[in-house]
Amino acid sequence: MYSYLLLTVVTALLLVTMGASALYYKRIRRVHEEYEEAKNTVGDITISVNRQFQRQEAGLRAVTHKIEIISSENEKVVKKVEEYDKQLATLAAIIEDAPAIEQKLSTQIEGMNKKVDDIKAAQNKIMHRIAEVEKIRYTAQVSEAKIEAAIPIKKEKALAPLTETELTALETIAKEGEKTAPEIREKIKLTREHTARLMKKLYEDGYLERDTHKMPYTYRLKEEMQKILKKREARA
């Protein structure tokens, strides 16, 4: 009887122990599952946090790069502002010196105007002098026409004072037309200086007319001289 009761008690204790063990095992398993779930959750949270940190770090890098760019641009702006300040200072100095420069330019312009006026006055004098010379020349030509009687070529003996060389020069011009001294030189075979003096003498003695509008001078016979030479050729 006692043994049966002891067995019953032991059996009951064993059953209780087994139930308690099973319940404890279930709790341990549940705690393990919760741990694994919590572990996975923590891992996901960690990964998410790391990703957020990475995104924030990338954002901070981008912001830092932008700040560096802005800083560099600010330095450029500061340099430009300094250059503008220097230019403004130079411009201010020029503006301050403007009255003196204007006065100097005004003085120079007045001097130039005076020189221009002097040049105009000199030109007017030259033109007046040229007009007077032309007037005198015209008067001399008119006077020469009036005193033809005094010119030796009006006389029949006008050729008497001339040398053979001078007559050759006059006859060449009579036959071939107006000539220059170098062209006459080829005919009479004299030096340049001798030919020039000969032609000048014939002009001054009234045998020739001279065109001074171009160089060398061109010589031509006067009408009276042309008539005398024709008479001389006819007699010959």
The tally of domains found in the chain comes to 2
Q: Are the C-beta atoms of 58 and 64 separated by less than 8 Å?
A: no
Statement to judge: residues 137 and 176 lie in one domain: no
Q: Choose one of 114, 146, 178: the last residue of a domain.
A: 146
36 lies in some domain: no
Average pLDDT, the chain: 77
The 10 Å CB-count burial string (b at 16+, else e) for 132-169 is eeeeeeeeeeeeeeeeeeebbbbeeebbeebeebbeeb
Task: Decide which of 120 and 22 is more confident.
Answer: 22
> Is beta strand 218-221 parallel, antiparallel or unpaired with respect to 208-211?
antiparallel
103 lies in some domain: yes
Model pLDDT for residues 115-159, shown as the tens digit of each residue = 777 787 777 777 767 667 666 655 554 444 444 434 444 444 667
The percentage of residues in the chain with a pLDDT greater than 90, rounded to a whole number, is 12
Tokens of 89: 């200072």
Q: Choose one of 111, 146, 181: the last residue of a domain.
A: 146
Which residues fall within 8 angstroms of residue 172, CB to CB, at 6 or more apart?
Answer: 179, 184, 187, 188
Q: Choose one of 124, 146, 168: the last residue of a domain.
A: 146
Amino acid symbol at 195: T
Tokens 């393990």 appear where? 32
- pLDDT attached to residue 119: 80
Statement to judge: residues 130 and 192 lie in one domain: no
Q: Are the C-beta atoms of 174 and 207 separated by less than 8 Å?
A: no
85 lies in some domain: yes
Q: Which residue range forms the structural domain that includes residue 196?
A: 152-235
Statement to judge: residues 226 and 168 lie in one domain: yes
Statement to judge: residues 159 and 193 lie in one domain: yes
138 lies in some domain: yes
- What pTM was computed for the model? 0.34
195 lies in some domain: yes
- pLDDT attached to residue 26: 81
Statement to judge: residues 159 and 113 lie in one domain: no
Statement to judge: residues 169 and 230 lie in one domain: yes
Model pLDDT for residues 102-112, shown as the tens digit of each residue = 777 778 888 77
Statement to judge: residues 158 and 218 lie in one domain: yes
Model pLDDT for residues 185-226, shown as the tens digit of each residue = 998 888 999 999 999 999 998 889 999 888 888 999 888 877
Taking CA atoms, 79 is separated from 47, 69, 88, in Å, by: 47, 15, 14
Task: Decide which of 112 and 234 is more confident.
Answer: 112
d(CA 232, CA 168) in angstroms, rounded, equals 13
- pLDDT attached to residue 233: 66
Tokens of 143: 């006077």
Model pLDDT for residues 30-86, shown as the tens digit of each residue = 877 887 887 777 677 778 767 876 887 887 788 788 778 877 776 786 777 688 778
141 lies in some domain: yes
8-state DSSP, 213: S
Statement to judge: residues 219 and 205 lie in one domain: yes
Q: Are the C-beta atoms of 174 and 187 separated by less than 8 Å?
A: no
Statement to judge: residues 157 and 220 lie in one domain: yes
54 lies in some domain: no
Statement to judge: residues 177 and 206 lie in one domain: yes
Tokens 């020739």 appear where? 208
CATH of the domain at 191: 1.10.10.10
